[in-house]
Amino acid sequence: MSDATKNPGQIALGWWKQTLRPDDDTGPARALRARLRRADHVTDILAEGRVIELHDRLGRKTDALTLAALAQVLAHVERHDGRRIAQVFGAGDPEALSPLRFQRLIRSDDRRELATGLRRALPLAGRACNVAALAEDILFWGEKSRIRWCFDYYGAAPPRPAAAEEETE
C-alpha cells in the first residue's frame, strides 16, 4: 500500500517505525529522538530532515506547528500497542492520568499546548499507545477527538452519531 492510499495515522506510524523506532534501534534513530525530545523551538524540530520527510509522506498538507508537535510527541512514544492514548490514560486504579489532568489535557486549544500536555503525560502511560491513532488525533485535534477521548478514558463505547439515529427512526 503506497503512502497515497494510507490514512495519515498509518503514514505517521510507518514513519515512526522506520525513523524513530527501527527494529535495530540505530544510533542515528536514538540521536534523532533525543534531539526532538529536547527541542525548545518549532524551528529546532523542523530543521530535522526526517521531519520534513514526514511532511512529504503526509502529502504536504500539514501546517508547520502541527507537524512539529506531531514529530516531538512521537519521539516520546517507546512502544506501539492497540490501545488509544486516552484508554491508556484511564486504565488502572487509580487511573494512569488523574481525571483533573485528563480534563486539562482535553481542553488544549492548540497543537502546541496539546503536545506539551502529551509529552508530560506519556511517561504515566508507560510511553506506549496506538501510534497511528495518536498521530491522527494530533493532526485533526478538535471537538470530535475530545469527545472520543472522554469515552475512551472512561472505557465506554461512544454514542452513535446523530445521523445514524435519524435513519433508524
Residues near 38 by Cβ (< 8 Å), separated by ≥ 6? none
Q: How far apart are CA 9 and CA 65, in angstroms?
A: 17
pLDDT digits (tens, 9 = 90+) for 116-168: 999 999 999 999 999 999 999 999 999 999 999 999 999 999 888 776 455 55
- Please report, as a single letter, which amino acid is at residue 139: L
Q: How far apart are CA 115 and CA 104, in angstroms?
A: 13
Spacing of C-alpha 79 from chain mean position = 12
Break the chain into its structural domains and give their ranges.
3-168
pLDDT at 163: 63
| DSSP H or E stretch at residue 128 | strand 128-129
Cell readout for 84 is 488509544
CATH fold group of domain 3-168: Peroxidase; domain 1 (1.10.520)
